[in-house]
Structure 1
Amino acid sequence: GTSEATAATHTITADEQRDAAAFWTAERMRGAAPLDLELTPGRLKELKAPEPGGATTTVAPTPAADGTSAHAAGPLSFPQAGGSWGSGGAVVKTSGRVFFTFDGRTASCSANAVTSQNRSTVITAGHCVKYQGSWHTNWVFVPAYADGNAPYGQWTATKTLTTPRWEAGEGINHDIGAAVVAPLDGRKLTDVTGAQGLQFNGGYNKPMYAFGFPAASPYDGSKLVYCSGNSSKDFLLSQDHGLGCNMTGGSSGGPWFTGFSEASGTGLQVSVNSFGYVFLPNRMFGPYFGDEAQALYAEAQTS
């Protein structure tokens, strides 16, 4: 093994957690601006291919502790370039909005709860935990967010994490983040929400479903939106997955699934919404979950 750190981490004090828990009113959540990743030509020049990864590793989804699972309606049209997810299923509770303070203003992203040893791990994009050199503050995850409502509560982060290469230079291929959240009312996150599975080193060119809470026009962040289609490897500049998708800012950090069941709303998370090219509208890109993402997940779930 290498001596390289598996993840860059930021620990949040108890006082900061209390502040975050008190900060997010419905009004502040509705007013949070979507955080977009801006791709400048300079950043595009830094792109390099990821190293080949190890064997495919799969982690199964976990149902919520109460055992209830909403059944989805189906089947849905495939591919879908952006539609409201009205179909129920597990993804409604595992996915949510993230709210935080960045550069003195309120901002939002999306995230998803995953199966984890600590039952408290959320996966998002790197720029949704740290951007332009600083870690975000007042970080909370709101599963099943709906227009200012937090039906399962606001979960404050005790630790946020990203890949060493996102921390070092914000390299676009490495735009992966995670958070560990504190228990709420004596319960752990995924006991309440359930959790999606994950897959690392699973390859490219597969049917995928992407979810998020886009908040920039024409969307307003009030509801869960999804895209589906056959993904491809980015042929331009990154080593990311690409998918036809019209989701806008605010959807960053939302999950991409392979092996997704419309009936149960469960799948294996293999990426997150990361960025789009200005000159290539209606196409979303997400980082490949290889060894680096797996190391980040391992660090988060044992924190």
Structure 2
Amino acid sequence: MRRHRTAAAILLAVGALLTGGLTATTAAHAAAPDPSPAPAPAPGPAAHQATAAEQLKARTFWTAERMRAAAPLDLRLGVDALKTLKAPEPGAVTTTVAPTAFPQAGGPWNGGGEVVKTSGRLFFTFQGRNSSCSANAVTSQNGSTVMTAGHCVKYQGSWHTNVVFVPAYDNGQAPYGQWTATKTLTTPQWEATEDINQDIGAAVLAPLNGQKLTAVTGAQGIQFNGGYNKQMYAFGFPAVSPYDGSKLIYCSGNSSKDWLFTQDHSLGCNMTGGSSGGPWFTGFDETAGTGLQVSVNSFGYVFLPNRMFGPYFGNEAKALYDRAQAS
């Protein structure tokens, strides 16, 4: 989860969305040759293909010790904004919380169900530093796609390497294996300008022991253009105090649209760095642990502690998902 120091950074990102409109030609001029060049097609999702050598290295790179030591991307970048967050009340994250608690500002998920297997930690190396985010397996044509945040696959001009997904991560253990990414993808808006409204990423994973990911973990449904102001459940593996990245944490509540600078969803939640990329669900069934994924943990404002924001899954997210699942 990225924390923004000032509103100016958000305004710059939003400003990047402003583009000129196209002017329609009249019927009288339709037959005449148009000297202006045809408008370029909208850019498609950006992707990075891991080489065979990179995949081989990633398969053996992540030992239990390295996974435990991997720091959240936020912390590794030296962002000190998280230090300004107000600490939760004593016991807020250490006390066992019933999964039926709604709203829930942050606590361990003890309800079981599919979400335990579909959610996991995403480990990677960013500019020589071992880091982590969160991710979730979704239904897909290739049976091998996970959704995450854009900055969890590419940041500051660099695609992450040694990318693996560990579903149901448990304090250094990988009960369902470590799944190596063959391809990582993000939206063209995040690729070009790190537009926070499109901080969405995906990874396509190689088969493991002859099986595809979702045949082992199951998969969550995914929804696009589903609207705002819904009951939401957010999951992730936050690893900045008071959390340590060892367990699946969740928040729940009534979401709203960001009233400040973005088009993102907003949810009361005290998850910290490392939760980035974790799924947001609508229509979530606590008993089955299933829902429709409509966003990912993305960022928070320094001046609004204990509040999480996640990008709206619109047409851009749909294009990204379509390319990933067809890979």
Q: 1:75 to 1:94 in 2, by over 3 A?
A: closer
Q: In the alignment, what sits opposite 2:74?
A: 36
Matches within 5 A, 1:95-114: 95-114=119-138
Counterparts of 1:300 and 1:13 in 2: how far apart (Å)?
17
Give the 3-state SS of the residue equivalent to 1:281 in structure 2: coil
1:134 aligned onto 2:172: no
Matched, 1:254 2:254: no
Does 2:321 correspond to 1:300? no
Q: Alignment RMSD, CA only?
A: 1.6
Per-residue deviation, residues 212-244 of structure 1 (Å, max 9, x unmatched)? 000000000000000000000000111100000
CA contact (8 A) 2:295 2:310 kept: yes
Distance 2:226 2:188 in 1: 21
Q: CA deviation at 1:6?
A: 2.4
| 1:35 Cα deviation after fit | 1.2
Distance 1:183 1:94 in 2: 16
CA contact (8 A) 2:99 2:111 kept: no
Work out whether 1:91 is the aligned partner of 2:115.
Answer: yes
Is 1:7 equivalent to 2:45 in the alignment? Answer: yes
Q: What is the alpha-carbon distance in structure 2 between the residues aligned to residue 187 and residue 4 of structure 1?
A: 35
Percent identical among aligned pairs is: 78
Task: Give runs of aligned pairs for residues 222-301 of structure 1, distance below 5 A.
Answer: 222-301=246-325
Distance, in Å, in 1 between the alignment partners of 2:264 and 2:98 is 29
Are 1:185 and 2:209 an aligned pair? yes
Q: Which amino acid aligns with 1:205?
A: N
The structure 2 residue matched to 1:20, chosen from 58, 76, 80, is: 58
1:216 pairs with one of 227, 230, 240 = 240
- More strand by proportion, 1 or 2? 1
2: CA distance, partners of 1:105 / 1:115: 31
For residues 7 and 227 of structure 1, the distance between their equivalents in structure 2, rounded to whole angstroms, comes to 30
Aligned-residue offset at 1:103: 1.5
In structure 1, give the amino acid aligned to 2:260.
L
Look up the match of 1:69: none
Gap runs ≥5 in structure 2: 1-38, 80-96
Kindly provide the CA deviation profile for residues 101-146 of structure 1, in whole angstroms up to 9, marking residues without a partner as x. 0121100000000000000000000000000110000000000000
**Counterpart Cα distance in 2 of 1:300 and 1:223:** 27
Question: Structure 1: which amino acid aligns with 2:57?
Answer: D
8 Å contact from structure 1 (residues 36, 252) kept in 2: no
CA deviation map 1:2-22 (0-9, x unaligned): 722321000001110010011
How far did 1:77 drift?
1.1
**Shift in Å at residue 74 of structure 1?**
6.8
Matching residue's letter, 1:80? Q
AA in 2 matched with 1:33: A
> 2 CA distance for matches of 1:144 and 1:172?
28
Partner Cα separation in structure 1 for residue 163 and residue 232 of structure 2: 28
In 2, the alpha carbon distance for the partners of 1:96 and 1:251 equals 10
TM-score by length of 1: 0.87
* 1:68-87 matched pairs, under 5 angstroms: 76-87=100-111
State the TM-score, normalizing by the size of structure 2: 0.81
How does 1:41-56 map onto structure 2 within 5 Å?
none
C-alpha contact 1:123 1:177 (8 A) present in aligned 2: yes
User: Aligned pair in 2 of structure 1 residues 104, 28: CA closer, same or farther (>3 Å)?
Assistant: same
Q: Which has the larger radius of gyration?
A: 2
Deviations 1:192-217 (A, max 9, x none): 00000011000000000000000000
Number of the residue aligned with 2:173: 149
Q: What letter corresponds to residue 16 of structure 1 in structure 2? A: E
Counterpart for residue 44 of structure 1? none
Cα distance in 1 between the residues matched to 2:56 and 2:189: 30
Aligned residues: 270
Q: 1:47 aligns to what? A: none
- Is 1:159 aligned to residue 197 of structure 2? no
Q: Which stretches of structure 1, 4 residues or longer, exceed 4 Å deviation after superposition?
A: none
Secondary structure of the residue aligned to 1:295 is helix
Residue 247 of structure 1 aligns with an amino acid whose one-letter code is M
